[in-house]
């Protein structure tokens, strides 16, 4: 229950305590700045308060975690492959899509609307779980990064469907031409559903699903610490242990048979 309250209301005790401890520092530095502002007869403008209390103890940027590594790695691979037509389903616009759009055109499919017009990006609003999903043999390259785990849980306004992830993957497969490449990522670990946030998949479950329709070209993963393990060889032991991940990110590059 405590975890649910934190997730719903955004109450994180450690962050609150850290912010409270930083208040004396904030007051001291603001008094110092105001004093300098008065002595210098500043005409820049009035001063108001907008406390940012934790940034000074953090690093200058975050070069780790699921999204950072998957977005950069897959964008690099798409750049090298230079497909004729690339379609993405549900990936992060301010991450992977932004990377890809910097060097080529990309079509994105999402159940939610995307209002702004973005150069090099064509947007199609559609439900990729739908049996009426229209695209068959449409593209030679497709991606879905950290998206399929949400399908059918209602989080993004999608219909509730316990098999939503399978329906989404099946439609992506139909959309991709034979010999085409699928770039795919989802959370990995002990298989479970954390409603309504996401599913976590076992590596074996995913490999069994892909075995019939795809050849696995490479596997990478982001571990629980946020570090990338790039293009590793999957052994039975690693598969059974889910690469020792509780909530990692598996990144699959596959070729459709």
3-state secondary structure of 53: coil
Residue 8, φ and ψ in degrees, nearest 5:
-75, -45
Buried/exposed 225-236: b ≥16 CB within 10 Å, e otherwise: ebebbeeeebee
The pLDDT tens digits of the residues spanning 213-235 come to 999 999 999 999 999 999 999 99
Collapsed DSSP state (helix, strand, coil) of residue 19? helix
What is the DSSP track for 204-230?
Answer: HHHHHHHHTTEEEEEEEEE-TTS-EEE
The pLDDT assigned to 10 comes to 64
How would you classify the pairing of strands 228-232 and 86-89? unpaired
Give pLDDT < 50 ranges for the chain.
none
The whole-angstrom separation of Cα 64 and Cα 128 is 29
Residue-by-residue DSSP string for 143-170: EEES-GGGTTSSTTSPPP-TTHHHHHHH
**pLDDT number for residue 6:** 60
Query: 31 in helix, strand or coil?
Result: helix
pLDDT of residue 148: 98
Give the whole-angstrom CA distance, residue 37 versus residue 33. Answer: 6
Residue pLDDT, tens place only, 96-122: 999 999 999 999 999 998 877 899 999
pLDDT score of 210: 98
Q: Outline which parts of the chain fall under CATH 3.40.50.150.
A: 66-256
For 113, list phi and psi in degrees, rounded to 5: -80, 155
* Structural domain 66-256, CATH architecture: 3-Layer(aba) Sandwich (3.40)
Residue 9: the pLDDT is 61
């Amino acid at each position: 229950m405590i975890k649910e309250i934190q997730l719903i209301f955004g109450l994180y005790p450690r962050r609150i305590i850290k912010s409270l401890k930083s208040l004396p520092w904030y007051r001291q530095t603001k008094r110092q700045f105001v004093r300098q502002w008065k002595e210098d007869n500043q005409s820049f403008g009035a001063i108001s308060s907008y406390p940012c209390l934790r940034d000074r103890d953090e690093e200058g940027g975050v070069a780790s975690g699921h999204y950072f590594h998957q977005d950069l790695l897959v964008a690099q691979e798409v750049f090298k492959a230079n497909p004729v037509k690339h379609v993405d389903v549900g990936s992060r616009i301010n991450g992977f899509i932004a990377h890809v759009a910097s060097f080529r055109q990309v079509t994105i499919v999402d159940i939610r609307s995307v209002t702004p017009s973005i150069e090099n990006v064509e947007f199609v609003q559609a439900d990729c779980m739908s049996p009426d999903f229209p695209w068959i043999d449409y593209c030679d390259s497709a991606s879905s990064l950290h998206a399929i785990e949400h399908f059918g849980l209602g989080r993004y306004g999608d219909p509730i469907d316990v098999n939503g992830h399978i329906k989404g993957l099946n439609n992506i497969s139909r959309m991709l031409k034979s010999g085409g490449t699928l770039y795919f990522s989802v959370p990995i670990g002990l298989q479970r559903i954390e409603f309504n946030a996401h599913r976590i998949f076992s590596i074996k479950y995913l490999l069994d699903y892909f075995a019939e329709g795809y050849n696995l070209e490479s596997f990478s993963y982001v571990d629980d610490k946020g570090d990338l393990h790039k293009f590793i060889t999957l052994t039975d032991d690693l598969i059974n242990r889910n690469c020792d991940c509780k909530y990692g990110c598996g990144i699959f590059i596959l070729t459709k048979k």
